[in-house]
Amino acid sequence: MTDPKLYFEAHVFACTNRRPDGHKRGSCAERGSEKLREYMKARSKELGLEPRIRINSAGCLDRCELGPTLVIYPEGVWYTIHSPADIDEILQTHLVEGRRVERLMLQPDQKELRSEQRG
């Protein structure tokens, strides 16, 4: 049996997990992920990406120190995001053009943000 056709061409999961203020790991919501996700959803509609692209909130993606974070499937590419400009760049470059935003990409073994990734 073969896998069914993808329901969405891409599925974006944006962490909007919130921990109590002062938690040692922090949280993506504490760093503004909820507003960034709402911006991303609205902007994707403006660009005509929906309904082929789906943007969802996610609970903890367990990369709190690198947040706010999002992951795009089916590729499994992770990004750190800090501004609407970061969102615009990811939407255009990754989801429209099929390329990667290397300066915002997170590597599997990455434990802290590089200087160019800080918001």
Enumerate the β-bridge partners of residue 78.
71, 106
DSSP-based three-state secondary structure for 111: coil
Say yes or no to pLDDT of 116 above 90: no
With a pLDDT cut of 90, the percent of the chain lying above it is 79
* Model pLDDT for residues 35-67, shown as the tens digit of each residue: 999 999 999 999 999 889 999 999 999 998 998
> DSSP secondary structure string, 37-76?
HHHHHHHHHHTT-TTTEEEEEES--S-GGG-SEEEEETTT
pLDDT of residue 26: 85
**What pTM value is reported for the model?**
0.92
Domains and CATH numbers, the chain: 12-108 (3.40.30.10)
Residue 93: DSSP 8-state: I
* Inter-residue contact 4 to 47 (CB < 8 Å): no
CA–CA distance, 36 with 85 (Å, rounded to integer): 10
Residue 113: DSSP 8-state: -
The residue among 12, 4, 14 whose CA lies nearest residue 75 is: 12
pLDDT of residue 21: 84
Residue 109: DSSP 8-state: T
Name which residue leads in pLDDT, 19 or 88: 88
